[in-house]
């Protein structure tokens, strides 16, 4: 019996191009497909008929008449298949099941603590997937493949997380995560770093659709960055996603975990905001937060700032101003049309987002000469990396020829 993934792999380049057009543009008539592809009808029929026979594209309904017979609409098969998208971050892991148009069928998230070694994480992911496929909405679907968005640096070809920092648990160095997941899930896994997964998703399906230059920043334990320039992902050495985080913003500043001084991450990440806040309390400053100092986290600080806590406001504003300054330099170099700020810190702190954007606008030379749009959270918000991982998997299948 032919696996559905082989149906994708065995499609011709032209067939994959047509599938991609239908998948990203919704229900289309043959006439509309012809307009988008500039093919002749006989050529389109030759290409599309095998895709329909394999039930990857199906007739969905009848379109509006323009004077003659009402045309048939074609769309991807959103009933029989599913894709798994996995987001392994330092604070949490999220698993989603999507249809072929990246509509979420099921999702589940768990927090990462000191017990979540790679082995336990993969085991928990497997348990969630085994439970999910027994649900009514998934029971009838055939699983195609898995996408993984995770923390760099990576060896994507070998499927290895090389030396990620910031995980609470040990043993994440040199983790063969692709092989581990494929063995447990019995499906092929396509992987990339989480920020690249998210920016790819936004460029194909979200607010960045039809734009060629997009920047995506995710604020968690660190600052993860994905960028698309002239339609192509900018890949850093070893596919790290924190290169921007280690931009030096103050040569005489605090020492960073990377060994340099004054990196953006020293001031503007969840970890640094929490550390700097607690340091000032230890030095005698007061706060309205009524918790033991060891229990205070970035959510407490962000909410306190929104409620006017003086110390929290100062910490958040300084962190945002430093990030915004770094962002202005980034914009000057790459000139993105859209800048998305997302991640746990952004979603809880309106103040951090507002000050970051205002600072970048004030200090950015290019912003005075071009229209740059900023967005809080992106179209997909907290699902961007896991959905982006599914998108990465689909795109890899459509480009494998």
Residues 142, 188, 106, CA angle at the centre, nearest 5°?
Answer: 45
User: Is the sign of the CA dihedral 102, 108, 114, 117 positive or negative?
Assistant: negative
Burial of 142 (0-12, 13-18, 19+ CB in 10 A): exposed
Contact present, 76 and 394 (Cβ < 8 Å):
no
303, 313 contact by CB (below 8 A) = no
Q: What is the model's pLDDT at position 370? A: 66
Torsion of CA 393, 395, 398, 401, to 10 degrees: -90
| Whole-angstrom distance, CA of residue 347 vs CA of residue 92 | 15
CATH architecture for residues 81-200+384-399: 2-Layer Sandwich (3.30)
Q: Where are the domains of the chain?
A: 4-76, 81-200+384-399, 209-378
Q: What is the pLDDT of residue 66?
A: 55
* Local confidence pLDDT in tens for the 401 residues of the chain: 457 888 888 899 999 999 999 999 888 999 999 999 999 999 999 999 999 998 999 988 765 655 556 788 999 999 999 999 999 999 899 999 999 999 999 999 999 999 999 999 999 999 999 999 999 889 899 999 999 999 989 999 999 999 998 899 999 999 999 999 999 999 999 999 999 999 999 999 999 998 999 999 999 888 999 999 999 999 887 777 888 888 898 888 888 888 889 999 999 999 999 999 999 999 999 999 999 999 999 999 999 999 999 999 999 999 999 999 999 999 988 889 999 999 999 999 999 999 999 999 998 875 565 688 999 999 999 999 999 999 999 999 988 65
| Closest to 385 in 3D by CA, of 170, 244, 219, 243 | 219
pLDDT at 259: 86
What pLDDT does 1 receive?
A: 42
Q: Tell me if domain 4-76 and domain 209-378 are identical in fold.
A: no
Asked whether the beta carbons of 15 and 51 are under 8 A apart, the reply is yes
Beta strand extents in 33-111 (DSSP E only): 57-62, 72-76, 81-88, 92-98, 104-111
Cβ atoms of 198 and 145 within 8 Å: the answer is no
Beta strands in 99-194 (DSSP E): 104-111, 142-150, 154-155, 160-161, 189-193
Closest CA to 211 of 226, 199, 225, 223: 199
Q: What are phi and psi of 61, to 5 degrees?
A: -170, -175
Q: pTM for this structure?
A: 0.90
For residue 87, the SS3 value is: strand
Neighbouring-strand partners of residue 226: 216
> How far is residue 158's CA from residue 33's CA, in Å, rounded to a whole number?
38
Alpha-carbon distance of 389 to 198, in angstroms, equals: 7
Write the class of the CATH domain 209-378.
alpha beta
| CATH tag for 4-76 (out of 3.50.30.40, 1.10.10.10, 1.10.1060.10, 1.10.8.60) | 1.10.10.10
Burial letters 330-356, b for 16+ CB under 10 A, else e: bbeebbbbbbbbbbbbbbbbebbbbbb
Proportion of the chain in helix, strand, coil states, percent, rounded to 5: 45, 20, 35
Strand duo 214-219 + 154-155: pairing: unpaired
């Amino acid at each position: 019996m032919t696996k559905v993934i082989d149906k994708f792999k065995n499609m011709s380049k032209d067939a994959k191009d047509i599938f991609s057009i239908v998948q990203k543009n919704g229900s289309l008539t043959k006439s509309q497909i012809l307009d988008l592809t500039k093919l002749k009808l006989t050529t389109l029929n030759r290409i599309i008929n095998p895709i329909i026979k394999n039930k990857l594209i199906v007739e969905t309904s009848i379109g509006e008449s323009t004077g003659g017979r009402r045309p048939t609409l074609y769309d991807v098969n959103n009933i029989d298949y599913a894709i798994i998208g996995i987001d392994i971050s330092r604070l949490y892991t999220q698993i989603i099941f999507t249809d072929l148009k990246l509509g979420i069928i099921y999702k589940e998230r768990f927090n990462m603590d000191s017990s979540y070694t790679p082995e336990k994480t993969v085991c928990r992911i497997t348990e969630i997937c085994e439970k999910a496929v027994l649900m009514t909405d998934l029971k009838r679907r055939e699983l195609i493949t898995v996408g993984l968005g995770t923390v760099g640096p990576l060896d994507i070809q070998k499927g290895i997380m090389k030396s990620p920092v910031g995980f609470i648990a040990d043993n994440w160095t040199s983790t063969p995560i692709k092989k581990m997941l494929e063995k447990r899930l019995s499906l092929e896994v396509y992987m990339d770093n989480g920020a690249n997964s998210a920016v790819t998703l936004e460029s194909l399906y979200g607010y960045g659709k039809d734009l060629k230059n997009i920047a995506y920043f995710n604020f968690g334990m660190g600052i993860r960055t994905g960028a698309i320039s002239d339609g192509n992902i900018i890949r850093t050495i070893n596919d790290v996603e924190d290169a921007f985080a280690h931009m030096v913003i103050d040569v005489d500043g605090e020492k960073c975990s990377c060994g340099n001084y004054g990196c953006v991450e020293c001031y503007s990440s969840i970890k640094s905001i929490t550390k700097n806040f607690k340091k000032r309390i230890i030095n005698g400053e007061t706060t309205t937060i009524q918790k033991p100092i060891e229990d205070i986290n970035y959510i407490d600080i962000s909410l306190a700032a929104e409620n006017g806590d003086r110390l929290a406001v100062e910490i958040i504003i300084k962190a945002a101003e430093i990030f915004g300054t770094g962002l202005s330099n980034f914009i000057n170099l790459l000139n993105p049309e859209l800048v998305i700020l997302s991640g746990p810190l952004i979603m809880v702190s309106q103040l951090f987002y507002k000050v970051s954007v205002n600072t970048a606008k004030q200090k950015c030379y290019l912003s005075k000469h071009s229209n740059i749009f900023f967005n809080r959270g992106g179209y997909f918000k907290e699902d961007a990396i896991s959905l982006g991982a599914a998108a990465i998997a689909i795109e890899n299948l459509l480009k494998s020829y």
